[in-house]
Structure 1
Amino acid sequence: MSSQYDIAETLDVKGASCPMPVVKTKGAIDDLAVGDVLEVVATDSGSMSDLDGWAAGTTGVELVNQEAGDDVYRHYVRKTE
C-alpha cells in the first residue's frame, strides 16, 4: 500500500500495545521538523482510536490519515509546530 504523503520517517511499533504506540509516536514526532509527516505502522487495532485521540488533544500535531488492512494499521502524523 503506498501513501500519498512525503514520509519523513517511518516508526515501526508492530507488536506494541497501548500506550506504547502513542508514547513512541510522541518521541519520534519531537525529533522531526515542522511540516514533516511520520508514518506509524502498528498491529494493535486500538492504535486507531489511541493515536486519533492523542493527536486531537495535542498541540503541534495533525493526524492526516489512518489506514487499516491485513492486521496492520498505518497512521500519518504531521508536525505542525
Structure 2
Amino acid sequence: MTINLGNQYDVILDAREDRCPMPLLKAKMALSKMAVGERLCVTTCDAGSLKDIPQYTALVGFTLLSTCEDNDVYTFVIQKS
C-alpha cells in the first residue's frame, strides 16, 4: 500500500481497487501519519475522488500539488501543510 520513494513522493497510496469513500479515507489515514511538508501520491479509479480529494485538501489546508487523469485513472499529489 505505501512505498517510500525518496525525493519524488514520501508516500504512495494505490487505491485503484477502492470505491467511494475509501480512496479519501485511506488518503486521510496516510496523511495523518505523515509529517508536515511530506508529499502523498494517491492513485484511484474512483471518479468521485475528483471532487472529494480537492475539497478535503482545501478544507484542511493541505496543498494539492497536482491532479492528473489518464484512462480513468486519477492521480493526486498532496503536500501536508
Do they fold alike, i.e. is TM over 0.5? yes
Corresponding position of 1:74: 75
Choose which of 40, 43, 50 in structure 1 pairs with 2:42. Answer: 40
Distance in 2 between residues matched to 1:27 and 1:42, nearest whole Å: 15
Query: 1:4-48 CA deviation, whole Å, 9 max, x = no partner?
Result: x72101001112111111110010011111111100000111111
Percent of pairs identical after alignment?
A: 32
Gaps of 5+ in 2: 1-6
TM-score norm. by structure 2 comes to: 0.85
Corresponding position of 1:7: 9
The one-letter amino acid of 2:32's match is: D
Distance in 1 between residues matched to 2:23 and 2:10, nearest whole Å: 18
Gaps of 5+ in 1: none
| Cα RMSD for the two superposed structures | 1.3
Structure 1 residue ranges (4+ consecutive) displaced by more than 4 angstroms after TM superposition: none
Distance in 2 between residues matched to 1:51 and 1:34, nearest whole Å: 18
Corresponding position of 2:60: 58
